[in-house]
């Protein structure tokens, strides 16, 4: 299983951002989403990268 870093991060990343890895299956699923859903998932992943485990459940 190949893991890839999430490519949706914005410029100006902080040094303490968490790196998010997606499996090929998840990457393909995100790529196949409609535009609105893709944007929502990308935003959620960006929030996860910003907050890491402190995000909670």
Write out pLDDT tens, residues 6-57.
544 555 555 567 788 888 899 999 999 999 999 999 889 888 888 887 877 7
pLDDT at 12: 53
User: What pLDDT sits at residue 13?
Assistant: 52
What is the structure's pLDDT at 28?
A: 93
Q: Which of these, 21, 18, 20, 19, lies nearest to 1 by C-alpha position?
A: 21
Domain ranges of the chain: 1-6+20-51
CA distance 31 to 25: 10
Say if CB 4 and CB 16 are below 8 A apart: no
CA distances from 5 to 14, 40 (A): 16, 18
| pTM for the whole structure | 0.65
């Amino acid at each position: 299983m190949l893991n890839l870093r999430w490519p949706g991060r914005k410029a100006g990343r902080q040094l303490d951002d968490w790196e998010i890895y997606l499996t090929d299956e998840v990457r393909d699923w995100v790529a196949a989403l409609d535009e609105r859903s893709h944007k929502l998932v990308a935003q959620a992943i960006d929030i996860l990268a910003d907050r890491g485990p402190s995000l909670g459940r």
